[in-house]
Amino acid sequence: MGKNWAIAIGINDYQNMRPLKFARKDAEAVCQFFQESLHFDKVDLFAKGAEPVRYEDGPPIQADPTVGNLDTFFDVRFEHPFLEPGDNLWFFFAGHGKRHKGRDYLMPIDGSPRRVERMGIAIDYIAERLRRSGADNVILMIDACRGEDDRDGGEGVGRQQQKGIITLFACSPNELSYEIEEIEQGAFTHTLLAGLQIQGAGNCATVERLSQYLRAQVPEVNRRYNKPAQTPYTRIEPESKLHFILLPGQATLQDVATMKIDALVAETENDLDGAEHLWTRVLAASQADFQAIKGLQRIAVKRATGQSLRSTPTPSPETLTTGADNSSREPASNLPPESKDNLADNKPSKPQPSRVTFSVVKVNAQGEVIEQQEQQTEQSLVMLPGEVPLSLVHIPQGKFWMGAQKNEIDAQDTEYPRHQVSVPSFWMGQYPVTQRQWQAIAGLSKVKVDLDPDCSNFKGEALPVEKVSWYQAVEFCERLSRHSGQDYRLPTEAEWEYACRAGTETPFYCGETITTDQANYCGDATYGNGPKGQYRSKTIAVGSSAANAFGLFAMHGNVWEWCLDHWHEDYTNAPTDGTAWLSENDNHYRLLRGGSWGNSPRSCRSASRLRLRPDSQNDCVGFRVVCVSARAF
């Protein structure tokens, strides 16, 4: 898989232009998302007072976004290539932009609107320097034009096309880009990050879907917060980059197949550079893809011999997507153009289930990966207030053996007697509830108890919320139920273990042992013959761990998860129908499952159990939701 590098610039305290409020915060949020959720190889931030930008083959460059520092960075850092085809380079700017004499400029912190050519940095110059990096996929995200003084003759930046670059502009050249006081972000950046976090159906893994999502959702955000119209738009050069996959980990088989068709079309037109580019991108998203390898071999033969390629018939999508996730195409992809343009005016419809593809790994007793398979499950995406997505997956009904196996390593008396349980179908959060989702629901009106939107110890929108009591987790579910009209609650203990095992009977859903490549726990400890690993000493982004066969992530480690049941010392007389096992004392200990970042792997086993008082708040404790409406979606 190719490397991902990012550069972000955020400027509030302009010296010669109107100061901004949230541009720096936008840039920091983008950096945090790239680092913690997407695990980029390198992320550089230019902002007032930020740490110097360092790289291997040169002295550090001061990160204050002055014209001198930025000019030095673009000149020196991009003098020689340091990335390769298949790599991605992302550039984000939040601040003032200026159109001057037919050219688009980004304004540094000391830029002057009276000396734009000298004190601004032309976007076409930035694009030219970024292309020198060697990456064949360069993405510009420009959240500029945040004030009337950014205009020249009535227009802001965005008219210039950048060769070989994908450019996402926050607004059209005759509009402004707005900051939203209530969410302390720019409308464009807020929506951009929301789109990039969508998992499964309707995700924004491709340029086309991200562009359509921004065009539909940014105007809706502005409308909600009483701001004038703002319509993002995308410039793509060449047009073949429309189907480029930006987020390989979220791409569907259909996304890959669409790029293959574009590559074959380029071959038939004898566009060798374009075809090579596209086949390289296919390999970045689908490693060891046989068709991509054959395509690159054909191009190599053509270049070596100088002979024309035979006309290659373009396969139908069905030929390339056997078993593909056809329902995970962009929203409203089959609508006529006039319908697509009006998506933002439509009220959100009831979420529809679709199929989502994910990878499942199996390890041997030594923790070595011995099998990796792509699987699919039914998923529904629910939008919380502020267009915050919540992903649910369908858990089919079934029977399983609950509790630890006989002679299971580190099993406790509380995990016996092992007994068979029948569980009806339900929907479950694909991930533990994140801090961003928590904040979205915490902003709704109170049902019974108060919710602190900033309760977590480890800060990050994509991190699981923690330091949440059982009462507060229940309150979250009740607010979500009232908001959505569906029935949300905590999982029962039986539902949780059934969902965690996903048809397995081994200590972990990945096998007889586990490693810190599959889960976040104290890697100083081992389980069975497994190896030692990394001890991160904190939570990690919810999508960073391995999925099980039901498509659930992080059921082992990261944070303990509250269950609905009261604590019982063992399973004697436990229910066998999947319902919650409750006692008459409502203040009795409640159950938690899954282990956490601070625990050894034995506490992360599928059968492991923990009890805490319902008012306990701990930075090792979070939760996920289930939805049990008869026909929820």
- Paired residues of 149 in beta bridges: none
Whole-number pLDDT of residue 161: 56
Q: Are strands 419-423 and 398-402 parallel, antiparallel or unpaired?
A: antiparallel
User: What's the distance, Cα to Cα, between the start and end of the chain in Å?
Assistant: 35
What's 4-250's CATH class? alpha beta
Residue 246: name the closest of 198, 202, 281, 298 by CA: 281
Residue 624: the pLDDT is 97
In the prediction, which pLDDT does 152 show? Answer: 41
Closest CA relative to residue 625, chosen from 494, 489, 499, 493? 489
**Upstream peptide bond of 315 is cis (omega within 30 degrees of 0):** no
373-627 to CATH, choices 3.90.110.10, 3.40.1110.10, 3.40.50.300, 3.90.1580.10: 3.90.1580.10
Domain-by-domain residue ranges, the chain?
4-250, 253-320, 373-627
**8 Å CB contact between 31 and 45:** yes
Q: Tokens 């069905």, residue?
A: 318
pLDDT the model gives residue 325: 33
Partner residues linked to 388 by β-bridges: 384
C-beta separation of 453 from 438 below 8 A: yes
Task: Confirm if 391 and 358 have CB atoms less than 8 A apart.
Answer: no
Structure tokens at 373: 């398979």
Query: Which residue type sits at 88?
Result: N
CB 157, CB 173: distance < 8 Å: yes
Taking the chain (633 residues) in consecutive chunks of 10 residues, what is each chunk's mean pLDDT? 88 92 95 91 94 85 94 90 88 90 88 88 91 89 68 50 78 84 93 86 82 89 90 79 79 77 78 82 75 83 63 38 31 31 34 70 93 85 83 94 95 97 95 94 95 95 94 97 93 98 96 95 96 94 88 96 96 96 85 97 97 96 87 48
CB 111 within 8 A of CB 96: yes
Token output for 222: 């502005």
| Distance in angstroms (rounded) separating the CA atoms of residues 162 and 144 | 16
3-state SS record for 550-572: CCCECCCECCEEEEEEECCCCCC
Strand order in the sheet with 103-106: 97-100, 103-106, 121-122
What is the predicted pLDDT for the residue at 198? 83
| Confidence (pLDDT) at 543 | 79
Burial of residue 323 (number of CB atoms within 10 Å: 0-12, 13-18, 19+): exposed
